[in-house]
Amino acid sequence: MTSSIEPFFKAKGVAILGASTNPKKLSYGVVENLITYGFTGGIYPVNPNANELLGLKVYPQLAEVPDPVDLAVVVLPSNLILDMLEACGQRGIKAVVIITGGFKEVGESGARLEEEAMKIARHYGMRIIGPNCVGTMDMNTGVNTTFIKGMPVPGPIGFISQSGAICGGVVDLIIDTHIGFSHFASLGNEMDVNETDVMEYMEHDPNVKVIAMYIEGITNGPRFLEAARRISRKKPIVFLKAGRNDAGAKAVSSHTGSLAGSYAAYQAALAQAGVIEVDTIAELFAIAWALGTQQSPARRNVALATNAGGAAALAADSIDKNGFKLASIPVEVQKNLRTKLNPAAQVSNPVDMLGSVSPDDYRWSLSNLAEAETVDVLVPILVPQALVDTKGVAQAWIDISKSTNKTLLTCLMGQHSTSEAVRMLNENGVPVYVYPDQVGPVLKAFQVFKDVQERDEFREVTCPVKPRTLLDDLQLSKGQRLAFGEFETREVLEAYAIANVPGGMAKSNGEALKIADEVGYPVVIKIVAESILHKSDAGGIRLNIQNAEKLRIDYDELISHIEMNNPGVKINGVMVEKMAEKGQEVIVGMRRDATFGPMILFGMGGTLVELVKDVNLKAVPLSEADIDDLINQTMAGKLLKGFRGSLPADIEAVKDVIRKLSCLSLQNPSIQEIEINPLIVYQAGKGVVSLDSRMILSL
């Protein structure tokens, strides 16, 4: 419940357990921050060995703290945490920040301590942030339970971080720039309150205009996606994922105890939910600040006004790379610009006013460009020069921002002489960047948010077949065998009305001949062996067998080849199947991700699937729009629509298979993976057929 975490940001009274009179202790910093940054509620240090701290009375025990007190900050050794939580529960406190480390991030004993702490919290109905965190800030209420030096000015960005050190670093980076934040939430190990809880709280806080997140591992993927789908249509969510590769994942685990899931799954799921993913901390706040202060462009046309051609060229490249373009400047606007600018100035786009530009040059150029219907975004750029009034230029940009409703992003390509101008711009809600190539990713983020806002509301696809729980029906082995080839997987597909190529399994040459007579020549034969899932790699397939005599020979040769090259292999038989007509080969599959659950995969199929890597992922549950995106964002999907004169393929039949696999994944949680490769897709209206499949069960 979001209301249950309100005291972390809007507390009426805060008790600091373990408050120290030593200025070098973290708890001293917490008390000092609560006093310094305008918190008007009660501040109650608790320590049996002190009487006074920074002018405040120190209470010997929590039970003696007066009302109102609805938030406790614990800065004590981990071996005292359980007693302190018990004391909080008895005192009636429902929100606790545990700054202390020494929990699951240090191993098994710490994990057990967290479990015991959670039992106490549940018993008393308490919510806990941490442990192993730096606390929370609300820039509008003055609640600052951190020991971080400094506090940002109030502004639109709500920041959620699983790393306390990142929070401290961000404050130090931005505090002199006057980039504004509404909240900071350092979550640490997320023993209780997690990123989705805080994100849902920020959804309803009017001071939050944009949510920025630094995340090492999402706690509950399906819940996060459900919330993010809803919130991202109202407020942009900008997301930085740490631990994308094996090395990063290892670092994450040792840092907060989080387990990093598959990064490909993160990328797919975040995009599906409308979350704007970024690659760096710099991008996270460059984008969040712009989204929190500027309205989205109506279209994608950008006008540049600069005193440096090279900087403008870099900006133009970045703009084009990210899906925007330089606007066409009307002839009458160009004529008007010439009346006051340097005669040598360029007045098309970019508008280059040359090196010794004045504030009035920018004011004149931008006011004219803002009036042009062909312009949606204004990007003024200044490279400081000895004769240029940098602060005056910044003020001109601020004036323009107040007189236009068009998106305004600015670039001051410098640092030594620009700090005061940067502060001025940010104080007035005008985003300013050091490098011209930072503009493009920001504009792309605006477009992503706009596209998300225009999406239809999420509606889960309905299951096109009667719900089935298959594993008991099929009497598959329980724990003894987890990987299954085509023979068993065919039954699963048939239960969900997914067509297999006609055929069956033979345990002898005679049975093979009988099946071939039933399905008709030509046929294909495939080895069925428990340890061989990729039959083509093992030489376990013979194609285009035209008659019985050839079938007898190929059957015996196939068995001999497998036995010779796979000593000790258990051969269960040979699949004999009708040789399917040619069509487009695609792969459709499902794998269960540790974070997000079932993920549906689609792409180019056949033996080269791992080489081509033309695949797309989506998290289940799916909407019809998700299924369209899953197909359309691949080369395989483009080919299905018809390419260079080829007839369109049966995309509707492919969608039907995807719906059924989605349904299967939700109804059969023991199926870890299931894959159809290839699925042959015929011309529109002629359907699809599975040529090969496999399945892996979970333990």
- pLDDT (tens digit per residue) in 25-34: 999 999 999 9
CATH superfamily of 2-290: Succinyl-CoA synthetase domains (3.40.50.261)
Give the Cα separation of 398 and 136 in Å (integer): 32
- In this prediction, residues 293-309 reach a mean pLDDT of 96
Confidence at residue 253, expressed as pLDDT on a 0 to 100 scale: 37
pLDDT at 498 over 70: yes
Q: Which residues pair with 542 in a beta bridge?
A: 525
In CATH terms, are 2-290 and 294-453 the same topology? yes
Confidence at residue 355, expressed as pLDDT on a 0 to 100 scale: 82
Nearest of 494, 393, 409 to residue 443 by alpha carbon: 409
Contact (CB, 8 A) for 329 and 348: yes
The residues, any chain, with a CB within 8 Å of residue 203's CB and separated by 6 or more, are 2, 227, 230, 231, 234, 235
CATH superfamily of 584-697: ATP-grasp fold, B domain (3.30.470.20)
The residues, any chain, with a CB within 8 Å of residue 553's CB and separated by 6 or more, are none
For 1-26, what is each residue's pLDDT tens digit? 557 999 999 999 999 999 999 999 99
Confidence at residue 468, expressed as pLDDT on a 0 to 100 scale: 65
Give the Cα separation of 331 and 310 in Å (integer): 24
**pLDDT cut 70: percent of the chain above it:** 95
pLDDT band of 483, cuts 50, 70, 90: confident
Among 117-131, 443-457, 522-536, whose mean pLDDT is lowest? 522-536
Written as one string, the DSSP assignment of 327-355 is PPPPHHHHHHHHTTS-TT-B-SSSEE--S
pLDDT band of 261, cuts 50, 70, 90: very low
Give the Cα separation of 101 and 98 in Å (integer): 8
pLDDT band of 387, cuts 50, 70, 90: confident
pLDDT at 471 over 70: no
Whole-Å CA distances, 457 to 452, 622, 632, 666: 10, 12, 20, 21
What residue ranges do the domains of the chain occupy?
2-290, 294-453, 502-578, 584-697
Structure tokens at 427: 């104080």
- In this prediction, residues 617-624 reach a mean pLDDT of 95
For 118-146, what is each residue's pLDDT tens digit? 999 999 999 999 999 999 999 999 999 99
Whole-Å CA distances, 380 to 302, 340, 400, 417, 432: 10, 17, 11, 17, 10
Q: Which CATH class is domain 294-453?
A: alpha beta
Contact (CB, 8 A) for 211 and 236: yes
CATH of 502-578, one of 3.60.21.10, 3.30.1490.20, 2.40.50.140, 3.90.550.10: 3.30.1490.20
Name residue, tokens 């067998």.
Answer: 545
pLDDT at 44 over 60: yes
Confidence at residue 482, expressed as pLDDT on a 0 to 100 scale: 79
pLDDT band of 263, cuts 50, 70, 90: confident
Name residue, tokens 């993927």.
Answer: 221
Coil vs helix vs strand at 136: strand
For 538-548, what is each residue's pLDDT tens digit? 888 999 999 99
Structure tokens at 588: 């459709």
Whole-Å CA distances, 165 to 161, 202, 256, 423, 697: 9, 22, 12, 24, 40
